[in-house]
Chain A
């Protein structure tokens, strides 16, 4: 039996039922606490650098070269993965897949837990996933796994992630990478 998450067996596997909502502008969310963005960035870097099989799940908004910002973010996410010693597994689109996905190399929002179970991922960053599918995927992961999830979101964030950074664009990603480098040096990783 896989290790399950904070919402397992709950009929409402949604953080809002525990009173957790997205952070206000300029702030971030760590579990149930609203904190400064830098505080969250440090904690996210620490969790990613110290958890088993830390992975970044880039979504369609960054995987494809559909505008200049997406191209910039792609370079930054690649760097982010190197700094965090993280693997990357793409969520390349949202189509359900028959007969089943290959959890070794892909993640699908309709059953993201399969990829996390298969690779025993204990911390993961979702970035570039459209809000409606991030909402679905993060709820399933929250209920079905013990993975620490991070949402790096260009809009208002996701309360179902354990850590959420909002309004994240290339400038903010650069800031996160700089902080992650510091944390990495401190941890000697």
Chain B
């Protein structure tokens, strides 16, 4: 049934706008794909996110497109998000999204995942949390870590822009030491929280720190994380999507900033537990990767 909610009744086909017909016909729904869907189809396919109200050039928007292109089965995926700049994109995604109270996203996602397992025992439903660093690492840290401790089978993706962007630039735990913002005028006094390491020690079977500079890499990591979360346990991705507005860059400078940080605070880090490693090898054999 999941895909049927995109199937237009023939009586209404002539009054539906082309973009909705395209969503049914040209989106890369998993059941229509011979091979695993991925970033390579982006240029030709109907995308699941095309409009948003973020600042022009905000890397969060590009990153979300990469993430969506990599969902193994979008029609069976529920995305849970939290307040912040990211939540200016979520209402535009053509999938099920749940907006949770700021900070509660991993608790809400845990509940959704458990209910889906109970309600659809024969179906694989993926639950993916997507939230900012303020929501994931500051105000929601308790819920984030508790979901890792409990081994909830969900994927958590933190759009780490190192600031509370949506509320005008306050420092977060993920802000780099010394960084000054409009509403953090004396500069951050302590180090950036190494959330990807906390995720590892808190029980995540897969934890990655990276920037969104390389679309293929982002898509690969997202896919691996979601597959591992299905069978093994919680997974975490810390993705640098700089807030160009708050660090004073213009619309075309986000990519350069991410490339710089590929060698800096977001140098690629990857932890995969032995069980997850074995499972990924199996997925590869089965053509899921």
Checking B1, B12, B91 against A66 with a beta-carbon cut-off of 8 angstroms, the contacting residue is B1
Contact residues in B for A106 (Cβ distance below 8 Å): 17
A70-107 interface bits toward B, Cβ cutoff 8 Å, 1 = contact, 0 = none: 11001101100000000011101101111000100110
Choose among A75, A77, A93 the residue that contacts B94 (Cβ–Cβ < 8 A).
A93
A10 at interface, CB cutoff 8 A: no
B93 neighbours in A (Cβ, 8 Å): 95
- Contact call A66/B15, Cβ cutoff below 8 A: no
- With A95-B94, A98-B51, A98-B53 known to touch, is A75 a contact of B15 (CB < 8 Å)? no
Give the interface size bracket for A toward B: 20 to 34
Q: A89 — which chain B residues lie within 8 A by C-beta?
A: 15
| A112: interface (CB < 8 Å) | no
Q: Which chain B residue lies CB-closest to A99? A: B51
User: Smallest CB–CB gap between B151 and chain A, Å?
Assistant: 34
What total of chain B residues lie within 8 Å of the partner, measured CB to CB?
Answer: 21
> For A58, what are the chain B residues with a Cβ–Cβ distance below 8 Å?
12
Kindly provide the distance from the CB of B3 to the nearest chain A CB, expressed in whole angstroms: 9
Most buried by A among B4, B9, B91: B9
Contact A74 B15, CB 8 Å, known A92-B20, A93-B94: no
**Do A74 and B53 have beta carbons less than 8 Å apart?**
no
Asked whether any CB of chain A lies closer than 8 Å to the CB of B266, the reply is no
Indicate whether B33 reaches chain A with its CB closer than 8 angstroms. Answer: no
A64, B8: Cβ atoms closer than 8 Å: yes
- Give Cα distance in the complex from A123 to B210, angstroms: 55
Give Cα distance in the complex from A70 to B5, angstroms: 10
Which residues of B sit under 8 angstroms from A97, Cβ to Cβ? 51
- B94: chain A residues at CB < 8 Å are 93, 95
Interface status of A178 (Cβ within 8 A of chain B)? no
Instruction: Tell me, yes or no, whether B7 is within 8 Å of chain A by CB.
Output: yes
Q: In this assembly, does A60 line the interface, its C-beta being within 8 Å of a C-beta of chain B?
A: yes
- Check: B11 CB closer than 8 A to any chain A CB: yes
Residues of chain B from 8 to 43 with CB closer than 8 A to chain A in the complex: 8-12, 15-17, 20
Does B102 belong to the interface (CB within 8 Å)? Answer: no
Residues of chain A contacted by B10 (CB below 8 angstroms): 74
Min CB distance, B22 to chain A, in Å? Answer: 12
Contact A66 B7 (CB under 8 A): yes
Name which residue of chain A comes closest to B51, CB basis.
Answer: A98
Verify B92–A65 contact, CB threshold 8 A: no
Within 8 Å by CB of B9, from A74, A93, A96, A105, lies: A74
A-B contact pairs, 6 of them (CB 8 A): A63-B9, A64-B5, A65-B4, A78-B11, A95-B94, A98-B53
**A62-B9, A64-B8, A67-B1 provided; 4 other pairs, C-beta below 8 A?**
A65-B4, A74-B12, A95-B91, A102-B17
B interface residues with partner A (beta carbon < 8 Å): 1, 4-12, 15-17, 20, 51-53, 91-94
Interface residues of A (CB under 8 A from B): 58, 60, 62-67, 70-71, 74-75, 77-78, 88-90, 92-93, 95-98, 102, 105-106
**Top 6 nearest A-B pairs by Cβ distance?**
A74-B9, A78-B11, A74-B11, A66-B4, A65-B7, A98-B51
